Structure 1
Amino acid sequence: MSTAEVRAFWQGLGLPGLIDVHTHFMPKNVLDKVWAYFDAAGPLTGRPWPITYRQEEAERVALLREFGVRAFTSMLYPHRPGMAVWLNAWAAGFAARTPDCLHTATFFPEPGAAGYVAQALQDGARVFKAHLQVGGYDPDDPLLEEVWGLLAESGTPVVTHCGSGPVPGKHTGPGPIGAVLGRHPELRLVVAHMGLPEYGDFLDLAERHRHVRLDTTMAFTAFTERDAPFPPAELPRLRALQGRILLGTDYPNIPYPYAEALHALAALGLGDDWLRAVCHHNAADLFGLPGS
């Protein structure tokens, strides 16, 4: 599937381009380890996962621009204490040299987390990533209480892998992150991957909390539908939440072409207005980007 196919998709909707809230850029040594994990069909995947866009960093950025992606993120995440500060330093440098990247940061439950999150916000971070499955931590950890407070108070979105796909983690599912939302209802939580496979539970969470959003990363594609199909009975709720669904793809770490994610959204049959909101307008509103 060509670049022209991606461009034809958004041009056909009358959009100025796409906004992708879930793309991965990270230090090369970290990304190499991520790719090696996928190559080995690690225990969290358990199936072949060929990386479609295994180019050098500059080529991957250029390709997003050729696709017509107007803004994107550099989702990165620590799996142990002591990583977040240097990941945030790398991400700040990447955002500085990549103006169409929404400056991304991360955190881990550790002493000092609130301090470096505050510093990242001061340095211009516009979105954070939290990966409860890979990090293996409880979002309700007391060491993160001040972090969630800072993010809620500043209105900074945090894209969070809190669903139990592809395999459950000790702290995944709607319960742990729901406890955080109970104390921080103003938190702009973006549930990654539509919360798969607990789609209905995370739609419930979005209906209860007006600032909760969900991103479409890998959901609805043939690759995901094989093991975690989206329940057709939930489509009316997906339509009703039109203003709080955001395009995400997991680029470049996807086992199919970028256009496939877009066609999977169109195949839901929720209409062009829904697609325009999901693929551009909702994220433009969330991040204060022009053309919303």
Structure 2
Amino acid sequence: MNDLAITPSIDVDRLTAIDVHTHAEISRDGHGSLSPELFGASEEYFKAHGHRQPTIAEMAAYYRERNMAAVVFTVDAEHATGWPRISNEEVAESCAAHPDVLIPFASVDPWKGRAGVREVRRLVERHGVRGFKFHPSIQGFSPDDPMAYPLYEAIEELGVPALFHTGQTGIGAGVPGGGGIRLKYSNPMLIDDVAVDFPELRIILAHPSFPWQDEALAVATHKPHVHIDLSGWSPKYFPPQLVRYANSLLKDKVLFGSDYPVITPDRWLADFDTLDIKPEVRPRILKDNAARLLGLVRG
């Protein structure tokens, strides 16, 4: 175990919220997480032209100022895109410098096979990584493909969550052929098989899952360890059935996420304030559910 294999020293009681979905978009040497073509399409989709890509240290300062914690990750999609990833070790090391506010997740391309499994174990056991991000559409795989099962098995055994992008993506939107990105891989129903075959794996379905919102609600309601994060959309655009389930059947399984930096938590929280969410449910969505899932509190 090295210096990074530590539990984040997060004082949950002082936090106003835990953002479970933020992106490390740029490395220390200036390398971006996406090709210029795909990044430009994402900027256009989110109307975030020219938005600045913060360093992880700047992200830490941003969240510390707001008394929030944040999960940070990048996406490893080298096989499908040919674009070199930002190092998982760099993300973990940068987060470890700010353990009071940042929680490192990693991303391992499922196409890496046994080498990917070894990396998953090393990242958790030696680098303090607390979960893994998958983006099936960008990584070019179906979540229920047995090719990815050795990764899930290792993640389940290590007891950390797996977060899957679901629904449409702004990455590749408007580019001819969508930049080669296939939306079908991000149907949340494909993750139902994963939840069946790995019953102790903690799963997060990221985003309101347009156009498959009902599928996401069905899987999260049916499978006890499947959660939903609310990132990537302003809450004022949430489908009514998502709000209804968040207020009732899924009140312990819905998580605040922003998709920072393309959507800021300031904007997200301002719009969330206008939703008809029960007062007793709000703190669960903003902090309590994530604190429990991420092992920051007992129970």
Alpha-carbon contact 1:53-1:60 (below 8 Å) kept? no
| More displaced stretch, 53-62 vs 207-216 | 53-62
Alpha-carbon contact 1:113-1:144 (below 8 Å) kept? no
- How far apart are 1:281 and its partner, in Å? 0.8
- How far apart are 1:128 and its partner, in Å? 1.0
Specify the code of the residue in structure 2 equivalent to 1:90: E
Q: Distance in 1 between matches of 2:157 and 2:211?
A: 30
Specify the code of the residue in structure 2 equivalent to 1:80: E
Match in the other structure for 1:122 = 125
Match in the other structure for 2:3 = none
Match in the other structure for 2:92 = 92
Aligned pairs for 1:20-59 within 5 A: 20-26=19-25, 27-28=27-28, 32=32, 34=34, 36-37=36-37, 40-41=40-41, 46=45, 48-50=47-49, 52=51, 54-59=53-58
- How far apart are 1:263 and its partner, in Å? 2.3
Residue 214 of structure 2 is aligned to residue 200 of structure 1: yes
Alpha-carbon contact 2:161-2:204 (below 8 Å) kept? yes
* Number of residue-to-residue matches in the alignment: 269
Specify the code of the residue in structure 1 equivalent to 2:94: F
Secondary structure (helix, strand or coil) at the match of 1:171 reads helix
Q: Distance in 1 between matches of 2:96 and 2:267?
A: 30
- How far apart are 1:210 and its partner, in Å? 0.5
Distance 1:46-1:235 versus aligned 2 partners, 3 A rule = closer
- How far apart are 1:291 and its partner, in Å? 9.7
Secondary structure (helix, strand or coil) at the match of 1:268 reads coil
Match in the other structure for 2:153 = 149
Match in the other structure for 2:139 = 135
- 1:248 pairs, out of 257, 261, 278, with 257
Q: Distance in 1 between matches of 2:77 and 2:184?
A: 14
Match in the other structure for 2:167 = 163
Structure 2: gaps of 5 or more residues: 1-12, 174-181
Structure 1: gaps of 5 or more residues: 1-13
Match in the other structure for 1:10 = none
Distance 1:101-1:16 versus aligned 2 partners, 3 A rule = closer
TM-score, length-scaled by structure 2? 0.78
- How far apart are 1:65 and its partner, in Å? 0.9
Using the aligned pairs only, state the percent identity. 26
Q: Distance in 2 between matches of 1:138 and 1:47?
A: 25
Residue 187 of structure 2 is aligned to residue 184 of structure 1: no
- 1:213 pairs, out of 216, 223, 227, with 227
Q: Distance in 2 between matches of 1:250 and 1:231?
A: 18
- How far apart are 1:231 and its partner, in Å? 2.9
Secondary structure (helix, strand or coil) at the match of 1:59 reads helix
Alpha-carbon contact 1:195-1:214 (below 8 Å) kept? no
Specify the code of the residue in structure 2 equivalent to 1:250: D
Higher helix share: 1
State the Cα deviation string for residues 220-257 of structure 1 (Å, max 9, x = none): 445xx3xxxx3324433221211111111111122xx5
- How far apart are 1:126 and its partner, in Å? 0.8
Match in the other structure for 1:73 = 71
Distance 1:152-1:85 versus aligned 2 partners, 3 A rule = farther
Match in the other structure for 1:105 = 106
Secondary structure (helix, strand or coil) at the match of 1:72 reads strand
Q: Distance in 2 between matches of 1:136 and 1:265?
A: 33
| More displaced stretch, 132-141 vs 236-245 | 132-141
Match in the other structure for 1:7 = none
- How far apart are 1:206 and its partner, in Å? 0.3
Specify the code of the residue in structure 1 equivalent to 2:71: T
Match in the other structure for 1:11 = none
